[in-house]
């Protein structure tokens, strides 16, 4: 069974995709299929007021074509109406999620580029959003990938895998 | 979980705000309720004592400011957060003077919001007479196992037990790969701070200005390209433990600043003026001779005495060869589970090889060697042939080489085995890339 499909749109790190994919493979222990999604046009989700793209609407738009779990990678800046930004978004128990690299990149904070770190951050975000799709809420364990992180520092602090409690929950919820 | 015992009430006439905020807090495990106007809120309050309130300033009928006053009359300790648009920040600031906990502007900065809520929860726990809340804080994480029963390691384990529950600053000294971070983690998780995180910074991995930003954070516009505020590790370590690895690599200017933080428990972000209070325990680690750095003026003496309150010296693997069998079995078990390979143990011959070998990269190098051997092994036991270095062994041992010669040869062997990939070789040897480059230069090693 393919558990997770990755796709991309306006994604700036194509050359990193294989590495991201194999990292996800070893964490999740499933085959991660790389899918080039039918190029969706992001224009429709752009807010001229905010200068950002509406993550909730993007998820809504792609959910029609999700068969298995699906995470869309992009490099545009994402928001939802009540928040100034989101790193990613997933609907609890849904099928589709979106992850943006925009604020995961050190250069956004005026720091030198660090591609290894960026790759780790992307992987953590994907595993985190997938956790929501699998029915997990945020985890109080600081080192668990399901810990809530609203800054890259918090993202760097946590691990890239589910803690034992979260793993047990995944099994319970999906059996 | 503590969150499920915290009750939040959101009062806002905007359905999107109610729904999104509720969903966000529920995701964090809080107990959330919401309503669209002040009258409804007052009804709910008469039945339930909420812990944290989010009140929109502008609502039809009674506004958030008036509602805030009413709530405070009933529950003087209520933590009230005012929701406002940029246009009415002035009114919100007035509400602060009337005792509101904080205000947040729409759209919310998720990082700020999460910070505010964590503070409110902390406040709640501190003022709460009910100790059950404290006790129900997340269950402790498992303390990492420190492997080895040699006398040296027994002493280390005893030291950890002694110092962990105190708030004392600890310095851990040991060669690279001896497990300094593991010891730090073990101390942290056996202390009262275990409910907060341990934050690690490798001071040797940053240039002076980057280390400053890493530790202290920076404000938007602090330097060219700093488009966004960034929290530093000192802020993240609040309530927990700050682990500073390679402390000897800190530049003089940053040493002064660090000393000030240790003494005042206060700091400002780079480019900022707001004093931020923080409470953390420091554990430092070094693989260099810090006393020499002090004598030669590279490391401040006052800082040195501040951090060297309790010293733990980790032995190199050479000094505890008797632990190698136990360590080997531990790593075999670890990677058997990880790789799902039916490898149960190791032959005596192979174990002898491991016990004879010189391990400049210490336990980390041993672990990497076993991991690699397990990848290539096809049997139920690891054999001598599964270890990449066994071929070179005899020539090295028999020809009476100096330690430096052996190190040189070993580096060349590992580089050859890995197609001269420096990063990979560094990983296997358990040192960083800079060390490898340095050794290449020292020994005049060149790629053929
Ligand atoms: Zn999340
Ligand atoms: Zn978890």
Residues on B contacting A at a C-beta cutoff of 8 Å: 1-3, 16-17, 20-21, 26-29, 106-111, 113-114, 138, 141, 196-197, 199, 210, 213, 218, 222-228, 230-233, 236
Query: What is the average per-residue pLDDT within A135-141?
Result: 89
What is the pLDDT, as a whole number, of residue A133? 93
Which of B228, B233, B243, B432 to mutate to probe the A interface, most A CBs <10 Å?
B228
Band (pLDDT 50/70/90 cuts) for residue B126 is low
**Which CATH number applies to A4-174?**
3.40.390.10
Over residues A85-98, the pLDDT tens digits come to: 999 999 888 999 99
Identify all chain B residues contacting A137, using CB atoms and an 8 Å cutoff: 26-29
The answer to whether residue B194 scores a pLDDT higher than 50 is yes
- Of A146-150, B1-5, B232-236, B281-285, which range is least confident? B1-5
Query: What is the average per-residue pLDDT within A148-155?
Result: 90
Query: What is the average per-residue pLDDT within B54-67?
Result: 91
Output phi, psi for B279, to 5 deg.
Answer: -135, 105
Closest CA to B153 of B331, B320, B318, B361: B320
Phi-psi region of B217 (alpha: psi -120 to 50; beta: other; left: phi over 0): left
What is the pLDDT, as a whole number, of residue B25? 92
What is the pLDDT, as a whole number, of residue B151? 92
With CB atoms and an 8 Å threshold, state whether B228 touches A86. Answer: no
What is the pLDDT, as a whole number, of residue B130? 47
The answer to whether residue B129 scores a pLDDT higher than 70 is no
- Where along chain B do its domains lie? 3-138, 151-315, 318-443
Tell me the three-class secondary structure of chain B, residue by residue: CHHHHCEEEEECCCHHHHHHHHHHHHHCCCEEEEECCHHHHHHHHHHCCCCEEEEECCCCCCCHHHHHHHHHHHCCCCEEEEEECHHHHHHHHHHHHCCCCEEEECCECHHHHHHHHHHHHHHHHHHCCCHHHHHCCCCCCCCCCCCCCCHHHHHHHHHHHHHCCCCCCEEEECCCCCCHHHHHHHHHHCCHHHHCCEEEEEHHHCCHHHHHHHHHEECCCCCCCCCCCEECHHHHCCCCEEEEECHHHCCHHHHHHHHHHHHHCEECCECCCCCEECCCEEEEEECCCHHHHHHCCCCCHHHHHHHCCEEEECCCHHHHHHHHHHHHHHHHHHHHHHHCCCCCEECHHHHHHHHHCCCCCHHHHHHHHHHHHHHHCCCCEECHHHCCCHHHHHHHHHCCCCHHHHHHHHHHHHHHHCCCCHHHHHHHHCCCHHHHHHHHHHHCCCCC
What is the pLDDT, as a whole number, of residue A73? 94
- Where along chain A do its domains lie? 4-174
Q: What is the mean pLDDT of chain B?
A: 85
Closest CA to B332 of B387, B371, B383, B274: B371
Instruction: Say whether the peptide bond before residue B107 is cis (omega within 30 degrees of 0).
Output: yes
Band (pLDDT 50/70/90 cuts) for residue B128 is low
- CATH superfamily label, B151-315: P-loop containing nucleotide triphosphate hydrolases (3.40.50.300)
Band (pLDDT 50/70/90 cuts) for residue A149 is very high
Band (pLDDT 50/70/90 cuts) for residue B399 is low
The answer to whether residue B153 scores a pLDDT higher than 60 is yes
Query: What is the average per-residue pLDDT within B362-384?
Result: 91
Query: CA-CA distance, B425 to B414, in Å (whole number)?
Result: 6
| β-pairing verdict for B230-231 and B276-277 | unpaired
What is the pLDDT, as a whole number, of residue B320? 93
Q: What ipTM is given for this predicted complex? A: 0.89
Q: Examine domains B3-138 and B151-315 and report if their fold is the same.
A: yes
**Percentage of chain B with pLDDT > 90?**
40
Quote the ligand 1 centre to B427 CA distance (angstroms). Answer: 32
What is the pLDDT, as a whole number, of residue B133? 46
Query: What is the average per-residue pLDDT within B299-306?
Result: 93
Closest CA to B288 of B211, B432, B426, B173: B173
The answer to whether residue B394 scores a pLDDT higher than 70 is no
The distance of A41 to chain B (nearest Cα, Å) reads 25
**Taking a C-beta distance cutoff of 8 angstroms, is the pair B243, B285 a contact?**
yes
Query: What is the average per-residue pLDDT within B350-354?
Result: 92
Residues of A acting as catalytic residues: 129
The answer to whether residue B371 scores a pLDDT higher than 80 is yes
**Taking a C-beta distance cutoff of 8 angstroms, is the pair B411, B421 a contact?**
no
With CB atoms and an 8 Å threshold, state whether A152 touches B20. Answer: no
Band (pLDDT 50/70/90 cuts) for residue B127 is low
Output phi, psi for A91, to 5 deg.
Answer: -90, 135
Band (pLDDT 50/70/90 cuts) for residue B52 is very high
What is the pLDDT, as a whole number, of residue B142? 67
**Residue B198: strand pairing partners:** B241
CATH class of B318-443: mainly alpha
Closest CA to A101 of A83, A126, A84, A130: A126
The answer to whether residue B230 scores a pLDDT higher than 60 is yes
Instruction: Record the pTM.
Output: 0.67
Quote the ligand 1 centre to A68 CA distance (angstroms). Answer: 20
By C-alpha distance, the chain B residue nearest A82 is B107
State the CATH architecture for B3-138: 3-Layer(aba) Sandwich (3.40)
The answer to whether residue B255 scores a pLDDT higher than 60 is yes
| Residue labelled with tokens 């709640």 | B124
Band (pLDDT 50/70/90 cuts) for residue B411 is confident
Helix or strand or coil: residue A110? coil
What is the pLDDT, as a whole number, of residue A71? 93
**Residue A88: strand pairing partners:** A99
Instruction: Indicate the DSSP class of residue A9.
Output: S
The answer to whether residue B140 scores a pLDDT higher than 50 is no
What is the pLDDT, as a whole number, of residue B131? 45
Instruction: Indicate the DSSP class of residue A50.
Output: T
């Amino acid at each position: 069974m393919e558990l997770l499909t990755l796709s991309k749109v306006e994604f700036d790190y194509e050359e990193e995709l294989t590495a991201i994919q194999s990292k996800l493979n070893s964490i999740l222990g499933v085959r991660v299929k790389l899918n080039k999604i039918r190029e969706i046009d992001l224009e429709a989700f752009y807010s001229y007021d905010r200068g950002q793209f509406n993550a909730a609407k993007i998820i809504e738009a792609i959910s029609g074509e999700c068969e298995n779990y699906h995470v869309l990678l992009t490099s545009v800046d994402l928001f939802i109406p009540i928040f100034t930004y989101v790193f990613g978004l997933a609907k609890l128990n849904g099928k589709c999620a979106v992850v943006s690299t925009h604020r995961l990149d050190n250069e956004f904070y005026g720091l030198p580029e660090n591609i290894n770190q960026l790759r780790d951050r992307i992987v953590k975000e994907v595993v985190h959003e997938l956790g929501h799709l699998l029915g997990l809420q945020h985890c109080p364990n600081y080192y668990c990938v399901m810990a809530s992180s609203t800054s890259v520092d918090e993202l760097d602090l946590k691990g890239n895998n589910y803690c034992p409690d979260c793993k047990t929950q995944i099994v319970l919820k999906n059996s | 979980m503590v969150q499920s015992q915290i009750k939040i009430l959101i009062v806002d006439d905007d359905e999107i705000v109610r729904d999104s905020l509720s969903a966000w807090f529920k995701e964090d495990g809080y107990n959330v309720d919401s309503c669209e106007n002040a009258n409804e809120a007052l009804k709910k309050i008469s039945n339930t004592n909420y812990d944290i309130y989010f009140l929109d300033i502008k609502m039809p009928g009674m506004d958030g400011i008036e509602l805030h006053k009413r709530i405070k009359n009933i529950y003087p300790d209520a933590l009230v957060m005012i929701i406002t648009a940029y246009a009415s920040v002035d009114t919100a600031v007035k509400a602060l003077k009337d005792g509101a906990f904080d205000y947040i502007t729409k759209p919310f900065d998720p990082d700020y919001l999460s910070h505010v809520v964590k503070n409110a929860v902390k406040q709640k726990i501190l003022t709460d007479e009910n100790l059950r809340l404290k006790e129900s804080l997340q269950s402790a994480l498992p303390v990492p196992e420190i492997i080895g029963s040699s006398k040296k390691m027994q002493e280390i384990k005893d030291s950890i037990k002694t110092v962990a529950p105190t708030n004392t600053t600890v310095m851990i000294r040991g060669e690279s790969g001896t497990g300094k971070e593991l010891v730090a983690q073990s101390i942290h998780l056996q202390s009262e701070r275990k409910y907060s995180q341990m934050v690690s910074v490798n001071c040797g991995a940053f240039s002076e200005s980057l280390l400053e930003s890493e530790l202290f954070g920076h404000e938007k516009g602090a330097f060219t390209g700093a488009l966004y505020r960034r929290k530093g590790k000192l802020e993240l370590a609040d309530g927990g433990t700050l682990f500073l690895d390679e402390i000897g690599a800190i530049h003089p200017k940053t040493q002064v600043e660090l000393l000030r933080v240790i003494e005042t428990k206060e700091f400002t972000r780079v480019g900022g003026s707001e004093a931020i209070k923080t409470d953390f325990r420091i554990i430092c680690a070094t693989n260099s001779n810090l006393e020499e750095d002090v004598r030669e003026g590279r490391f401040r003496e006052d800082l040195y005495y501040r951090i060297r309150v309790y010293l733990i010296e980790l032995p190199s693997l050479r000094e505890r060869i008797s632990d190698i069998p136990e360590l080997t079995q531990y790593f075999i078990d670890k990677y058997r589970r990880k790789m799902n390979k039916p490898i149960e143990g190791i032959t005596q011959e192979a174990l002898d090889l491991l016990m004879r070998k010189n391990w400049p990269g210490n336990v980390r190098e041993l672990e990497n060697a076993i991991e690699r051997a397990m990848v290539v092994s096809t049997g139920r036991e690891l054999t001598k042939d599964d270890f990449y270095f066994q071929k070179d062994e005899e020539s090295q041992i028999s020809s009476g080489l100096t330690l430096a010669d052996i190190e040189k040869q070993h580096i060349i062997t590992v580089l050859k085995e890995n197609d001269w990939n420096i990063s990979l070789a560094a990983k296997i040897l358990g040192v960083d890339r800079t060390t490898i480059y340095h050794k290449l230069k020292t020994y005049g090693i060149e790629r053929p």
